[in-house]
Amino acid sequence: MTTIRATYLRMAPVSVPILAIVTALAVAAVAVLASGSDPLVAYGALIEGALGSPERIATTVGRATPFIGTALAMAFAYKAGLFNIGAEGQILAGALLAAWVGTWSFLQGWPGVVLIPVVLAAGTVGGFVWGLVPGVLKARTGAHEVITTIMMNFIMSLLAVWLVNSLDPIILRDPDVSVARTRPLPEAARLWELVPGTKLHLGLFIMLGLVAATAWVLDRTTFGFEVRAVGTNPESATYAGMNVNRITILAMALSGAMAGLAGAGHVSGAEGFLSPGVFVNVGFDAIAIALLARANPWGIVPAALLWGALLSGAPLMQQRAGMSTDLVRIIEATVLVFIAGDAMIRWLFRIRSNGEVSTA
Amino acid sequence: MTGAGRHVLEVEGITKTFPGVVANRSVSFDLAEGEIHCLLGENGAGKTTLMNIVFGLYRPDEGTVRVRGEEVSFSSSADAIAAGIGMVHQHFQLVPTLTVLENVVLGAETVRHGVLELASARRTLADLSDRYGLPVDPDALVGDLSVGIRQRVELLKALYRDADILILDEPTAVLTPGEVDEFLSTVRELVGMGKSIVFITHKLREVSQVADRITVLRNGEVVGRTTPAETSEEELAAMMVGRQVSFTVDVGTSDPGEVVLEVSGLVVDDNRGHAAVRDCSFAVRAGEIFGIAGVEGNGQRELVEALAGMRPVVAGDVRLRGRSLLGLDPRRIAELGVGHIPEDRTRHGLIGAFSVADNLVLNRYHRPPFARGLVRRRSEVTAHAEELVATFDIRTPGVDVPAAQLSGGNQQKVVVARELSRPLEVLLVAQPTRGLDVGSIEFIHRRLVEIRDRGTAVVLVSAELDEVLALADTVGVLYRGRIVASMPAAEADRHRVGLLMATGSEAA
């Protein structure tokens, strides 16, 4: 009996998020009922829409792919004690640079082994620069990164709209199509689709590689040690001889680079061009996903998949249960409330938290 | 014992467990009217837990509490206050941005027509101040007051609530030697006026000065009940620790060599940009402990941080074997052979969330053998940690547990082990034994003497005058940011140094 109980408590890092999701679905069912639909039908459709066929699963995973990069960016910065709200701008900076560089005329005709790395590198640089600026501002002037990254988001989203929409002069816009988007990347610069007809592409493995690399850097390298030290106790880090300012700047820039790489992957893999509105809310959902994963790099993968599933299942739910796709947002929000307030879940399911030990 | 007889507080068979820890095991304790009953024990012995139960902050698993013969079951401190119990916590519970008067009435305000009514409270406070000899300025902001005065405000807070049973938790931990003496006489006066006091401490000298009766706790159990007349400090220490301890480390004779560290005309600002260290000069020789005595807040922290490279130097020079350290960052200074045991181990010395092993390489994690290039070598870090845990007798369930889970003494041993496990020219030590128990203090003092004997120049800054006098070969007194006097240990007696600490000069 006690061992069962002990195992139950030891499973808390996994069981608490799962129980939070279940509880959130139960609570959101009230909203479904209130809107006059049957929760079982709605949830059944949601699950079927997300996972009902190989293609649907592929779509779900494809939608999750950019979330992995942006949530990882958020989590990495968080380990350094930084609250990077700027993944939204950084993913766009990366996507924009990738979409532009990929269409440079002198690059045309080169094979994929050259073009794909060039496009991905361009995206990484774009995100790096967009993260570097708030990092430098934080380290040199003390400007809070929450404020500066939000402002950087505005700058980038409006800059992207102008660069891509402008007809006079034409800057990045593809004049051959009626909608506002950049000119298409050459076929050779495209990441391969994994399941034809879905937006699941090789970028998934790039993102998984990034997760592995980030986890390894944080856990096994001196730089990762410095990042965690600065993030946990900057004063001890200074005492230990670490250059807190340098580490802050680098962590913020690398965080941006991760989001930028995600943006380049999306342009190269899913779309082949950039339309400026495609990443709306991706950066903000990243905050939620990183929170759900408790900033653990590997935890981000299932959390991002959950997000992808909710988004890709929503249309079928709307169709079957005759309700708004906005309900998915309510479910997401409810999940977050229970994750953020995990004390509620721990109380509800009698999972004691650690650190209750007191002496004196 | 005055008043002899009537028990105002009786605690019987109290057991309290926290997950994994038995804080109190069937503890019994009583307080007679008009006495000072000292509750003595090391950190973690369960003293504070026991009194938190009496004060209604915790509920006991077993046992009873009786106040003036009546069994009580407090569900919060409000109940305890209503029953006439007041507690002064080790960490003051004052709001620095409010005035003395506002702090005193906070939680017991008189409100008339929804408006705070302070006039009568002001009169009551003035009365109490007079009656108990605790002068305060009711309109001063608490944030501007010295620690000694803040403690007075805490006492007044309890008295304002008509407490006649006072629980004082480590009340002298933050006071200077002069303030301690004054405080102890205040406590005596309070008792003379009919208050009954539980005095929690781990300082033996205070116990013999002030106690009517003594109860000693160890590992959550009562291991002795005695009175100052029946016992000695040695015996009390042995009871507390569970073995014989020597108080005075045999410092032996030092054999100082050439000057290693030379500080001249140093000026350093505090966090608000005011000069905290002003024209400070001294020299420390190899194989010598240079003890810096001084009332806290006279520039000790800024001085040590500047020497370690953590705080910019405004003017003056610091030379290590003739080489200036100005402008070097903490890492460079450490690599030149300067070790630093910082004043605040949890804020600077350790990262509580990191493992003991990681903390033991906190400033060498990037160097071989602990890293190869950018990649850390965990097996080396673990092996290093296991070795230091053994040699420095760090009590920990393992080298992988977070440092925050260790007791204060063992946390400090982690810092000491890290700093002393490499060759050093200079060791900067600030308040090395603050908040530690007798056993750990003894251990750390031995290590400091040992490293001195290996030829390191040791700079020891301590608010405990006894510590400076016991260990230093040369005693310097820091007053308002300057070393106002420096003398061989043989010429430094408590009185002379105390006077210098208080006034900055010997002519008083």
Which of B43, B351, B375 best tests the A interface by mutation, with the highest count of A CBs <10 A?
A: B351
The three state secondary structure string of A41-106 is HHHHHHHHHHHCCHHHHHHHHHHHHHHHHHHHHHHHHHHCCCCCCCHHHHHHHHHHHHHHHCCCHH
Nearest to A359 among B23, B332, B351 (CB): B23
Partner-chain contact B375 A220, CB within 8 Å: yes
Tens digit of each residue's pLDDT (9 = 90 or more) over B403-427: 988 877 889 999 999 999 999 999 9
Partner-chain contact A233 B347, CB within 8 Å: yes
Judging contacts by C-beta atoms under 8 Å, the chain B residues touching residue A240 are: 330-331, 362-363, 365
The two structure tokens encoding residue B476 = 């310097």
Strands B196-201 and B165-169: parallel
Vertex B417: Cα angle to B415 and B422 (nearest 5): 115
**B57 CB within 8 Å of a chain A CB:** no
Name the residue of chain B whose CA is nearest to A220's CA: B376
Smallest Cα–Cα separation from A327: which of A56, A20, A29, A48? A29
Lookup result for tokens 């001196």: A222
Q: Is B210 helix (H, G, I), strand (E, B) or coil?
A: helix
Name the residue of chain A whose CA is nearest to B200's CA: A360
Q: Scan residues 212-241 of A and list those with Cβ closer than 8 Å to B.
A: 220-223, 225, 228-229, 232-233, 235-241
Q: A325 burial class (0-12, 13-18, 19+ CB within 10 angstroms)?
A: middle
Q: Scan residues 267-306 of A and list those with Cβ closer than 8 Å to B.
A: none
Judging contacts by C-beta atoms under 8 Å, the chain A residues touching residue B395 are: none
Beta strands in B403-501 (DSSP E): 426-430, 457-461, 474-479, 482-488
The two structure tokens encoding residue B493 = 């007696």
Nearest to A236 among B349, B371, B378 (CB): B349
Judging contacts by C-beta atoms under 8 Å, the chain B residues touching residue A359 are: 18, 21, 23, 44, 46, 49, 407
A234 and A244 in contact (C-beta within 8 Å)?
yes
Quick one: pLDDT band at residue A357, thresholds 50, 70, 90? Answer: very low
Strands B457-461 and B289-293: parallel
Nearest to A356 among B18, B330, B353 (CB): B18
Q: Which amino acid is at A13?
A: P
Q: Which amino acid is at B221?
A: E
Judging contacts by C-beta atoms under 8 Å, the chain B residues touching residue A233 are: 347, 351-353
Element (H, E) at B255: none
State yes or no: pLDDT of A298 exceeds 80.
Answer: yes
Omega prior to B369 cis, within 30 of 0? yes
Residue B71 bridge partners (DSSP): B66
How far is the alpha carbon of A113 from chain B, nearest alpha carbon, in Å? 29
- CATH 3.40.50.300 domain position(s) in chain B: 7-241, 246-337+423-508
How far is the alpha carbon of B350 from chain A, nearest alpha carbon, in Å? 6
Neighbours of B115 (CB within 10 A): 8
**B278 CB within 8 Å of a chain A CB:** no
Q: B252 burial class (0-12, 13-18, 19+ CB within 10 angstroms)?
A: exposed
Distances from the Cα of B307 to the Cαs of A176, A242, B262, B331, in angstroms? 68, 17, 10, 12
How far is the alpha carbon of A35 from chain B, nearest alpha carbon, in Å? 45
How far is the alpha carbon of A292 from chain B, nearest alpha carbon, in Å? 21
Judging contacts by C-beta atoms under 8 Å, the chain B residues touching residue A238 are: 310, 330, 348
Phi, psi angles (nearest 5°) of residue A146: -65, -45
Partner-chain contact B331 A225, CB within 8 Å: no
Tens digit of each residue's pLDDT (9 = 90 or more) over A188-226: 999 988 888 888 999 999 999 999 999 999 999 999 999
Partner-chain contact B365 A239, CB within 8 Å: no
Element (H, E) at B417: helix B408-420
The two structure tokens encoding residue B151 = 């403690």
Name the residue of chain B whose CA is nearest to A352's CA: B19
Name the DSSP letter for residue B131.
H
**A2 CB within 8 Å of a chain B CB:** no
A251 and A232 in contact (C-beta within 8 Å)?
no
Under CATH, which number does the domain B7-241 receive? 3.40.50.300
Smallest Cα–Cα separation from B197: which of B6, B5, B9? B9
Partner-chain contact B46 A360, CB within 8 Å: yes
Partner-chain contact B349 A239, CB within 8 Å: yes
Give the domain ranges of chain A.
Answer: 68-280
Tens digit of each residue's pLDDT (9 = 90 or more) over B132-142: 888 899 999 99
Partner-chain contact B354 A232, CB within 8 Å: yes
CA A197 to chain centre: 23
Partner-chain contact A220 B331, CB within 8 Å: no
Judging contacts by C-beta atoms under 8 Å, the chain B residues touching residue A357 are: 18-21, 405
pLDDT at B247: 63
Q: A15 burial class (0-12, 13-18, 19+ CB within 10 angstroms)?
A: middle
Judging contacts by C-beta atoms under 8 Å, the chain A residues touching residue B407 are: 359
**A187 CB within 8 Å of a chain B CB:** no
Measured CA to CA, the distance from residue B88 to residue B485 in angstroms comes to: 36
Judging contacts by C-beta atoms under 8 Å, the chain A residues touching residue B405 are: 357
The three state secondary structure string of chain A is CHHHHHHHHHCHHHHHHHHHHHHHHHHHHHHHHHCCCCHHHHHHHHHHHHHCCHHHHHHHHHHHHHHHHHHHHHHHHHHCCCCCCCHHHHHHHHHHHHHHHCCCHHHCCCCHHHHHHHHHHHHHHHHHHHHHHHHHHHHHHCCCHHHHHHHHHHHHHHHHHHHHHCECCECCECCCCCCCCECCCCHHHCCCECCCCCCCECHHHHHHHHHHHHHHHHHHEHHHHHHHHHHHCHHHHHHCCCCHHHHHHHHHHHHHHHHHHHHHHHHHHHHCCCCHHHHCCHHHHHHHHHHHCCCCHHHHHHHHHHHHHHHHHHHHHHHHHCCCCHHHHHHHHHHHHHHHCHHHHHHHCCCCCCCCCCCC
The three state secondary structure string of B269-283 is ECCCCCEEEEEEEEE
How high does pLDDT run on average in chain A? Answer: 90
Q: What is the pLDDT along chain B (508 residues), one digit of tens a residue?
A: 444 468 999 999 999 987 767 889 999 999 999 999 999 988 778 888 899 999 999 999 999 999 999 999 998 889 999 999 999 987 788 998 999 999 999 888 878 888 888 888 999 999 999 988 888 999 999 988 877 788 889 999 999 999 999 999 888 876 766 778 888 988 999 999 889 999 998 888 888 889 999 999 988 899 999 999 999 888 888 888 887 766 666 777 778 889 999 999 999 998 888 899 999 999 999 999 999 998 878 899 999 999 999 999 999 999 999 999 999 999 999 999 999 999 888 889 999 999 999 999 999 999 999 999 999 999 999 999 999 999 998 988 899 999 988 877 889 999 999 999 999 999 999 989 877 777 788 889 999 999 999 999 999 999 888 889 999 999 999 999 999 999 999 999 888 888 898 788 886 5
Strands B36-40 and B213-218: parallel
**B367 CB within 8 Å of a chain A CB:** no
How many A/B residue pairs have CB atoms within 8 Å? 89
CA B371 to chain centre: 36
Measured CA to CA, the distance from residue A131 to residue A73 in angstroms comes to: 10
Under CATH, which number does the domain B246-337+423-508 receive? 3.40.50.300
Distances from the Cα of B182 to the Cαs of B15, B112, B187, B237, B332, in angstroms? 36, 38, 9, 25, 45
pLDDT at B246: 66
Strands B338-341 and B426-430: parallel
